[in-house]
Amino acid sequence: MNSPQQAHEVRLRGLSVSGGLPGRRAGTSLWHMIHRILSHALGFVILLAFLFAGGWIAVAARLPLPGSVVGMLMLAAALRLRWIPERAVKDAAELLIRNMALLFVPAGVGVMAYGGLLAREWLPIVVAGAASTVAVLVVVGWLQQRQETADD
């Protein structure tokens, strides 16, 4: 690299990006970047397909579960049965997990907007939160023990 301008230049012959781009190592191939973008896009399409399918099934079958939960259960089953390879959704899922804090902003705004209601109904909210936390711990512990005995 002779000048700062050359640090940001894309060499067409070698199809590689020179160093200096944020988040990219020197010599990262253009095809690799395109592959990553398409991998993320495919993962998001799969995740959204399960989300919308779960919503449709929950409404059509009048299930007492939200469609997002139904879609998540369907995705978990498809991954467990290896109908969908893990690598197909891994990049998109990791991106969502890395940026999960941003997904809580609307919930935080909702809490601030309904502060009066929360002040009036704090006891049922605390009891429901505690009961659901205990239920999740019990179910996850049971499933983990079951998985460990199945692996042995």
pLDDT of residue 126: 95
pLDDT of residue 108: 86
DSSP assignment letter at 17: E
Q: What is the pLDDT of residues 6-20, one digit of tens each?
A: 444 444 344 444 444
pTM over 0.95: no
pLDDT of residue 35: 86
For the record, the structure tokens of 117 come out as 């209601």
Q: What is the pLDDT of residues 76-119, one digit of tens each?
A: 999 999 999 999 999 999 999 999 888 888 888 888 899 899 89
pLDDT of residue 27: 53
The average confidence (pLDDT) of the chain is: 84
**pLDDT band of 23, cuts 50, 70, 90:** low
- Give the angle subtended at the CA of 90 by the CAs of 89 and 91, to the nearest 5°: 100
Contacts of 43 (CB under 8 A, 6+ apart): 88, 89, 90, 91, 92, 93
Four-CA torsion 113, 116, 117, 123, nearest 10 degrees = 130
